[in-house]
Amino acid sequence: MTKEYAEQLFLQEKPTLALLAIWSLQKTYASVITKEINSTFAHTTKILAKMEEHGLVQFSVEGRVKYVELTDHGYRVVDALKNLIMAIEGETPEESQEENSTESAENDSENTDEARKTTLDHIDRLHQQIVTTYNGLEENDAELQIMKMKIGPFSRDIQLLLNSIEENEDLINDEGLDKLTEIQNIFDLVMKQ
């Protein structure tokens, strides 16, 4: 990656937010990233194409859905961005490591809390996206095929959530479980017709 390219890419808000959004959401698709970074779809795909050229992200197609995820190089860049953010906030990675080593028991609890928060945030985002999409389609009396095309791509996200919760039930509370159940019910209602 040339120095000019790195400066152009990461000294701008949208590309940095896009990379962090992919890291946060893991395997996702361009329209979700577009919403996450409050950008246009065309601008987001241009950013993603540049990132793919330089080995930061990779695309995969499953059915009619084109997913994007970080490569190993992309993960290293995200780590560097997170270190940069910590440095800007006045914390160095070394300080962070020292705190981690002295408070490992506390961190295990914090890691569980952080994993729970991440899972609940993911459920909230997914719930909002699916319910908003579904309600909008219902209000416009959309045809079943259109509803399936709009709701269907969420199946992987739902399954990833279910798998992570199955592995660790402590990641979800009653409110999250209610939202996840509503998500699953909407998905089943649309896709099993």
Dump the DSSP string for 64-92. TEEEEEE-HHHHHHHHHHHHHHHHHTT--
* SS3 at position 171: helix
DSSP H helices, the chain, are 3-10, 13-25, 30-37, 41-53, 72-88, 93-102, 104-139, 144-151, 155-167, 174-191
Segment 181-190, tens digit of pLDDT: 898 898 888 8
- Give Cβ neighbours of residue 115 (< 8 Å, ≥ 6 apart): 168, 171
Rounded-to-integer distance, Cα 151 and Cα 170, Å: 28
Q: Which of 12-16, 69-73, 167-171 has the highest mean pLDDT?
A: 69-73
Average pLDDT of the residues of the chain: 79
Q: Which pTM does this prediction carry? A: 0.46
Q: What is the pLDDT of residue 91?
A: 57
Domain annotation for the chain: domains and CATH numbers: 6-73 (1.10.10.10), 111-192 (no CATH)
What's phi and psi for 62, nearest 5 deg? -125, 110
Predicted pLDDT at 59: 92
Report whether pLDDT(101) > 60. no
Residue 88 forms beta bridges with which residues? none
Around Cβ 52, how many Cβ atoms within 10 Å? 15
Position 83 pLDDT exceeds 60: yes
Reported as a single tens digit per residue, the pLDDT across 48-65 is 999 898 889 999 888 888
Rounded distance, CA 142 to CA 84, Å? 46
pLDDT at 95 over 60: no
DSSP-based three-state secondary structure for 28: strand
- The pLDDT-based confidence of 96 (bands split at 50, 70, 90) is very low
